[in-house]
A = this chain, B = another copy of it.
Amino acid sequence: MISVSDALDHLFSLANSLPAETIPLSQANGRSLAAPVSANRDQPPFSASAMDGYAVSEADAVPGATLDVIGEAAAGHSFDGHVTQGQAVRIFTGAPVPAGASRVIIQEDVQRIGDTISISENLDHGFHIRPAGGDFRRGQHIESPRVLRPSDIALLAAMNIAEVPVMRKPRVAILSTGDELVMPGEVPGPDQIIASNSFGLQAMLRDLGAEARLLPIARDTKDSLAMAFSLADDADLMITIGGASVGDHDLVGDVAQDLGMERSFYKIAMRPGKPLMAGRLANGAMMIGLPGNPVSAMVCGHIFVQPVIRAMLGLGQSTAPRLSAPLAAPIPPNGPREHYMRARLENGTLTVFENQDSSLLSILSQANALAIRPPNDPAQNAGSHLQYLPI
């Protein structure tokens, strides 16, 4: 048996980084930036007023001074002339500060009569000018890799980046296997259940920034499996669920090997989970075989598939950061395998569900965290801190 972290190292060695592609800015949120992007301009491109008021030369900014208003500057409409002593230009937020002006007197500090202003006694000390390039300068970088967020999108726009280099989305094909499975909406036979893992994993993969599609359910025959594999020809990653041990045969592994897969089995010291199959198909695609048990498949999705997708997106070879929270109630000792226990984080404390049977989707759906127990972790009291992964 190997540790979760050793298994991840094996998986990372199979994960190809994907090529970059260029997409319009309005589609770039949530995507992984593929290369540093540099600003096409300074922001602001000129000294700009930070307030509505009057632009004056510093020497005129004295309480009681009376100035002639010689023009107006608004956002998008600069004042073309020059401000000299005794003069002021009416100015609005975002407007270029006119030549000769070095300070903006806010309108609250001014009394205007006709085209004359007088500066009030309680003049503030602010200059109210945003210097050119104060936000960023031409050539300044947004570093990669990073997952672009809304504030990055706003910054890229301000930098005049209309098209953004991002990593292509990993194309993932998801294959559920088993004679017992039917699709949601079908009428199952008495021995049958509804395929659920594939739908849960598809949702998870899309949240991670992958393109994920479901292949038709494969039956427990080599022909059916081979047909399904053939439909995944353009996938970067093939995920199979279940079927690694059907009857006494390992049909999925056999078919994958017929397709040229170099196969590894990892017997991983974890719960819930089973030996994980992984390898590379002859067409270059990575393959991960997940256990068929509903909760095991979803937990292995969080623990193994999520870091693989991030690696494919160029985001490094690391696991999701583990957080820590105190327990709401005591829990019994752990066995010899690392245990990812379904738990609920509420008001800062972790409640570990009592029933950890790996078939219970109803419990998984209530969970928002996987509490992580190291091998042979002793019993823990309420209040002791446990590591967890938000899910």
Residues of A within 8 A of B (CB): 25-26, 29-30, 41, 43-46, 48, 50, 52, 72, 74-78, 92-96, 130, 134-136, 140, 142, 149-163, 178-181, 183-186, 188, 190-204, 206-207, 214, 220, 245-247, 292-294, 298, 301, 357, 359-362, 364-365, 367, 391
Contacts and interface: CB of A to CB of B under 8 A. Distances in A.
Contacts of A142: 365
15 contacts: A25-B199, A26-B202, A29-B202, A29-B203, A30-B203, A50-B357, A74-B179, A74-B220, A92-B246, A135-B361, A140-B362, A149-B203, A149-B365, A153-B202, A157-B198
A30 to B, nearest CB: 7
A43 B154 contact: no
Residue among A26, A152, A292, A357 with the most chain B CB within 10 A? A26
Contacts of A200: 150-151, 153-155, 157
Contact of A184 (B29, B161, B185, B220): B161
Contacts of A196: 154-155, 157-158
Given A134-B357, A160-B186, 4 more contacts: A29-B206, A153-B200, A154-B364, A160-B188
Contact of A185 (B94, B162, B201): B162
A250 B220 CA distance: 70
Contacts of A367: 151
Contacts of A149: 203, 365
A29 to B, nearest CB: 4
A298 B371 CA distance: 35
Contact of A246 (B74, B161, B192, B293): B74
Contacts of A214: 26
Contact of A162 (B75, B93, B155, B184): B184
A136 B362 contact: yes
Given A157-B194, A220-B76, A298-B154, A30 B179 contact: no
Give the top 3 A-B pairs by smallest Cβ distance, nearest first.
A154-B200, A162-B185, A76-B180
A196 B44 CA distance: 12
Best-buried of A140, A153, A364 by chain B (most CB within 10 Å): A153
Nearest to A177: B75
A135 B359 contact: yes
Nearest to A247: B74
B44 A359 contact: yes
B191 A29 contact: no
A150 B201 contact: yes
